[in-house]
Amino acid sequence: MPQAPTRANAWVVTRAIVSGLLIAAVGVAVWAWLAPLNARHHPEWPWAAALTLFYLFVIIIWLNGAGWPRAWRDFRHHALRLWRPAPGAWSGENRAAVLGLMALVVAMYVFWIAATSSQPTPDLSAYPTPAFRISVLVMGAMVSGVVEEVAFRGYMQSQLERFGPTIAIGVTGLVFALSHITHGLEALLVMAPGYFMAGVLFGVLAWRSGSILPGMALHVTGDAAHTFFAVLGGDASLLLQTS
């Protein structure tokens, strides 16, 4: 039986938001630093992608409870929610609800791709080799999809769910939307409602399924599909051209 929601506590709310934002910042930092270096040094080898994948693997293993400090192991494992569904979460009506939510996320990405696909062909001169371009396509989606699900639907939302799923999903969705200020204020003002709705969908999916894995898989795949179909116009030759 789920526990009854408790009254919001300022310390727990602050800890949840700060820890989620910190994980998001730390999670993207290495790729943001290494990718430009890879573009200048040996771009024929996607070494930045390999190092970033290893970095993400180590972070997730630690956040899931491995390593020091042992006293935080259970907290880290619970907060990450990598895979801890409640009994019956993947059966009966709840399984249908989870699959329905996943279908809604897919529909959201299809709409997003269709709404933004009339963009001019991008200048890829800063991406000098096919190997580097492909690594940027894959890792851009991987870093955003994995890190955002870990940070927001994992650590932030899990800690807030003691106050009830509505508050947890709403607050996390709002912070998730506002975190995209890194794209610029003008872009945020236009896209904030969409980011918030996406955050709510991913949040409900994590809560109902008991895991961030379904949302993570959809987030990574959807972001990669958007970059390929909307930004590159579905033209694989842009990735493979040698000059």
Note the pLDDT of residue 243: 62
Q: Which pLDDT does position 2 carry in this prediction? A: 52
What is the gyration radius of the CA atoms in the chain, in angstroms? 19
DSSP string spanning 181-221? GGG-HHHHHHHHHHHHHHHHHHHHHHHHHT-SHHHHHHHHH
Q: Is the pLDDT of residue 1 over 50?
A: no
* Per-residue pLDDT band at 87 (split at 50, 70, 90): confident
178-201 pLDDT, tens digit per residue, is 999 988 888 889 899 999 999 999
Phi-psi region of 78 (alpha: psi -120 to 50; beta: other; left: phi over 0): alpha
| 3-state secondary structure at position 110 | helix
Picking from 2-16, 134-148, 152-166, which range would have the lowest pLDDT averaged per residue?
Answer: 2-16
